[in-house]
């Protein structure tokens, strides 16, 4: 996937918009879809920005549509038969309209022969024209999924992203709060590292944030005093994970700068939420003090979050039990 040069910063996080060119899409999908470039090689630099998907009715990839054109137009058997059924003037006007909308690419499915007038129009206008042996629905599903992920908004956050008890947990905190040391201890306890220092999160669905590691930092964890460690080499392939959905943020804080917790906070814990792109991610704050086992506390935070997701709230259950006890006593 290609990172955009267009971005902004919110709460110290770098938010970027996705972008991809026709040449990049072709290279990324050439082997998977067995693509061949027929005509319009000059259009390799055509770019598709994420903002383009909301300029008109958004449709990244789809079958040939001359009214609401898709960004990638797929020409299957029915579409080519429809073109063949038009008279010469209508056919010329339709092909001219297709290339006039400047799609990112045209793709002919099932290795069908390319109409000569379409090839000439693509060559003259620099419209990338590809062919694939895959069926139309396979091209549609794969290209739609790939483009949606590539153009989805993404943000880079500071922290260590891990898989703990099968859920994605982002460990955040001030510099020197012990994030990397905590991550190293969690790895030794059987959990898995996704990314250190600068995990990237992409909103691939309205309620899903997918976290990955930049290629430069893959498998690496920096620990003060030890330097950069390669977790894969030290602990094996099972100690790292390529990506994970973000479900919880654990924030480490120094207690001396925080007020003493009140009575309700002693029951419910210091929990809240953090806005990441368009989602509110549950957050649990853990004070860092000498002698506290942060690894155990982080594991417990993950378990509590899993229970709450299932509708089990120990604090609420205790308060209900306490109210029932007072009613009986009165």
Q: What's the pLDDT tens digit per position in 111-121?
A: 999 999 999 99
Residue 314 inside a domain? The answer is yes
Q: Average pLDDT in the 130-153 region? A: 90
Answer yes or no: do 200 and 262 share one domain: yes
Candidate list 119, 135, 158, 274, residue with the active-site label: 158
Count: domains in the chain: 2
Q: Is 310 a catalytic residue?
A: no
Residue 299 inside a domain? The answer is yes
Candidate list 56, 100, 189, 266, residue with the active-site label: 266
Residue 262 inside a domain? The answer is yes
User: Can you give the pLDDT at residue 163?
Assistant: 97
Q: Average pLDDT in the 163-182 region? A: 92
Residue 161 inside a domain? The answer is yes
Q: The tokens of 137 are what?
A: 């629905």
pLDDT above 90: residue 204 = no
Distance separating alpha carbons of residues 118 and 113, to the nearest angstrom = 11
Pairing of strands 129-131, 105-108: parallel
Answer yes or no: do 78 and 225 share one domain: no
Q: Average pLDDT in the 261-287 region? A: 80
pLDDT above 50: residue 196 = yes
**What sign does the CA torsion over 263, 264, 266, 272 have?**
negative
Answer yes or no: do 42 and 113 share one domain: yes
Q: Check residue 237 and report its DSSP letter.
A: G
Write b or e for each residue in 91-110: b if 16 or more Cβ atoms lie within 10 A of its Cβ, otherwise e: beeebeebbeeebbbbbbbb
Q: Is 179 a catalytic residue?
A: yes
Answer yes or no: do 138 and 262 share one domain: no
The answer to whether residues 6 and 19 touch, using CB atoms and an 8 Å cutoff, is yes
Instruction: Name which of 70-79, 166-175, 216-225, 253-262 the model is least confident about.
Output: 253-262
Answer yes or no: do 65 and 93 share one domain: yes
Predicted confidence (pLDDT) per residue in 88-101, tens digit: 899 999 999 999 98
Q: Is 158 a catalytic residue?
A: yes
Residue 10 inside a domain? The answer is no
Which of residues 151, 184, 200 is at a domain's end?
151
pTM across the whole model: 0.73
Structural domain containing residue 265: 154-321
Residue 50 inside a domain? The answer is yes
pLDDT above 80: residue 265 = no
Query: Residue 168: which CATH number?
Result: 3.40.50.300
Q: Average pLDDT in the 168-172 region? A: 96
Q: Is 100 a catalytic residue?
A: no
pLDDT above 50: residue 7 = no
Distance separating alpha carbons of residues 221 and 232, to the nearest angstrom = 10
Which of residues 116, 151, 186 is at a domain's end?
151
């Amino acid at each position: 996937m290609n990172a955009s040069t267009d971005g902004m910063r919110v709460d110290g996080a770098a938010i970027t918009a996705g972008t991809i060119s026709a040449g990049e899409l072709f290279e990324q999908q050439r082997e998977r879809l067995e693509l061949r470039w027929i005509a319009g090689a000059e259009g390799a630099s055509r770019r598709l920005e994420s903002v383009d998907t909301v300029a008109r009715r958004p449709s990244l990839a789809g079958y040939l549509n001359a009214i609401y054109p898709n960004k990638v137009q797929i020409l299957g058997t029915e579409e080519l038969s429809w073109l063949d059924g038009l008279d010469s003037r209508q056919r010329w006007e339709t092909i001219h309209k297709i290339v006039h909308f400047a799609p990112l690419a045209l793709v002919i499915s099932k290795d069908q022969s390319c109409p000569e007038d379409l090839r000439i129009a693509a060559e003259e206008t620099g419209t990338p024209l590809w062919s694939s042996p895959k069926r139309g629905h396979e091209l549609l599903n794969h290209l739609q999924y790939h483009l949606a992920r590539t153009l989805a908004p993404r943000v880079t956050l500071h922290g260590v992203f891990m898989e703990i008890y099968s859920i994605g947990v982002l460990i955040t905190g001030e510099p020197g709060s012990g994030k990397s040391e905590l991550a190293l201890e969690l790895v030794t306890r059987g959990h898995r590292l996704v990314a250190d220092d600068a995990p990237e999160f992409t909103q691939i669905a309205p309620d899903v944030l997918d976290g990955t590691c930049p290629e430069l930092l893959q498998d690496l964890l920096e620990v003060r005093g030890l330097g950069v460690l390669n977790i894969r080499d030290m602990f094996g392939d099972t100690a790292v994970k390529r990506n994970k959905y973000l479900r919880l943020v654990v924030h480490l804080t120094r207690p001396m700068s925080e007020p003493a917790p009140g009575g309700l906070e002693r029951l419910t814990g210091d929990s809240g939420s953090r806005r990441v792109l368009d989602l509110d991610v549950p957050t649990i704050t853990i004070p860092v003090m000498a002698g506290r086992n942060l690894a155990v506390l982080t594991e417990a935070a993950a378990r509590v979050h899993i229970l709450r997701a299932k509708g089990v709230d120990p604090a609420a259950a205790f308060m209900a039990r306490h109210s029932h006890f007072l009613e009986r006593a009165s």
